[in-house]
Amino acid sequence: MDTTTAIIGGQVLAPEEIIPDGTVLYDGGRIVAVGGRHDISLPSGQGIEVVDARGMLVLPGFIDQHVHGGGNADTMDNSYEALCTMAKTFAKFGTTAMCPTTVAASEEDLMGTLATIGETAKRGCPDGARVLGAHIEGPFMNPEARGAHEMQFMVSPSIDRLRRYHDAAGGKIRIFTMSPELPGITEVIETATRMGILVSIGHTKASLEQTLEAIEAGARCVTHFYNAMAPFHHRQPGILGAVAADDRVMVELIADGTLVHPIALEIVLRIVGSKRAILITDCLRAADAPRVERFSFSGNTLCVGESNCFLANGTIWGSLLTINRAVPNIQRILGRSLSDAVNMASLNPATVLNIADKKGSLEPGKDADIIIVDSDMNVHRTIVEGNTVHVS
Ligand SMILES: [Zn+2]
């Protein structure tokens, strides 16, 4: 670990510029220098490892704050092994940190899974992405907007429940998706925010006013924008109106080109700008699991298609997206720059999760979460906190 590593010759995405022939030096899990080849002198003597990135892009690792499963493992499998399978699977696609996401479940299953996520966040997965902590999706959700979540597991929000989840997870809840229209939610949002949990608005039919109240109480994100929320109406502009009216809130986007129409993505991106958009996968266990053709998720049987999962009646029900495909979609379909697209998957989630002092960009002092990719965003090397976890 104490060997200094120098990644040389690649195009380096630094916070303010793209350095054409750049060097990134890291040591002991931290980045120590980022600059042009001639600006950085490599330490002399033994103990320096050189990684040749000529012809490649050197980017900050991706942070996926909303991911249910992959590699035929699911968060709700409730095991260290399943979470590490996910961590390893997504590291292949450039994810260096993630929030395994729960679904509405029985109290026992949810508490058990939260405990496992909390332990895994502390212990780490040896050859995968860093598990930051849980994203709880449900059970504080409007039953009428519950989407894939099971009706029987919807519960009323309460501070007492919130505290029990928090304790079960050993303090490792990062995000809590909840619906702003539920009775008593304001106090729950305020308390969660004080605990350092990011409250994200989702699975909701909230009006503009209810959404603005939730933001005032501390909510700072909207879960998978457009999916499971009330649509825009010119006399009731809803959540789309709220994100236009209050720029403190960020939005999660599923940029796979099918779950959200590209023009719908364009509309919300024009409203929030590139600094308030966060790319997520929201993907399920069939992602990168070619032999899985059918599986059970949240009480439903899902079929696996080319690019997403669907119910037997054809309704699209979940994604197979990986972040390294979402980023070029933002560039190619929506015409955004490489830096904007990458930041949506690195710096922006780090910012909303309040970890931008450690993660999200290639800067001295931050964790060495680095990926080396080709121009098609195929991932050739993934480095998590200084450890190389994937090479292809
Ligand atoms: Zn989800």
pLDDT of residue 2: 67
Q: Where are the beta strands (DSSP E) in 142-210?
A: 173-178, 198-201
Q: Is 282 a catalytic residue?
A: yes
pLDDT band (50, 70, 90) for residue 258: confident
Q: Which residue in the list 64, 256, 282, 369 is annotated as catalytic?
A: 282
Going from the Cα of 372 to the center of ligand 1, the distance in angstroms, rounded, reads 28
Q: Exposed/middle/buried for 42, CB within 10 Å: 0-12, 13-18, 19+?
A: middle
Going from the Cα of 247 to the center of ligand 1, the distance in angstroms, rounded, reads 24
The C-alpha atoms of residue 270 and residue 170 are separated, in whole angstroms, by 39
Angle between helices 208-217 and 238-245 (to 10 degrees): 50
CA atoms within 13 A on the CB side of 360: 19
Going from the Cα of 333 to the center of ligand 1, the distance in angstroms, rounded, reads 23
Q: Where in the chain is the domain with CATH 2.30.40.10?
A: 4-59+363-391
pLDDT of residue 98: 98
What is the per-residue DSSP string for 241-254? HHHHH-TT-EEEEE
Going from the Cα of 90 to the center of ligand 1, the distance in angstroms, rounded, reads 16
Give the DSSP H or E segment for 303. strand 300-304
Position 107 pLDDT exceeds 90 = yes
CATH architecture, domain defined by 4-59+363-391: Roll (2.30)
Position 69 pLDDT exceeds 70 = yes
Q: Where in the chain is the domain with CATH 3.20.20.140?
A: 61-292+318-352
The C-alpha atoms of residue 27 and residue 7 are separated, in whole angstroms, by 12
Residues 6+ apart with CB under 8 A from 347: 15, 60, 356, 360, 361
Domain at 61-292+318-352: CATH code: 3.20.20.140
The C-alpha atoms of residue 302 and residue 338 are separated, in whole angstroms, by 34
For the chain, what is the mean pLDDT? 95
pLDDT of residue 314: 84
Going from the Cα of 318 to the center of ligand 1, the distance in angstroms, rounded, reads 8
260-277 burial, b at 16+ Cβ within 10 Å, e below that, comes to beeeebeebbebbebebb
pLDDT of residue 166: 97
Going from the Cα of 68 to the center of ligand 1, the distance in angstroms, rounded, reads 6
pLDDT of residue 105: 94
pLDDT of residue 123: 97
Going from the Cα of 177 to the center of ligand 1, the distance in angstroms, rounded, reads 9
Q: How far is CA 102 from CA 98, 116, 129, 148, in A?
A: 13, 11, 18, 12
Q: What is the mean pLDDT of residues 62-86?
A: 97
> Of 79, 66, 72, 77, which Cα lies nearest the Cα of 125?
79
The C-alpha atoms of residue 134 and residue 210 are separated, in whole angstroms, by 25
Position 305 pLDDT exceeds 60 = yes
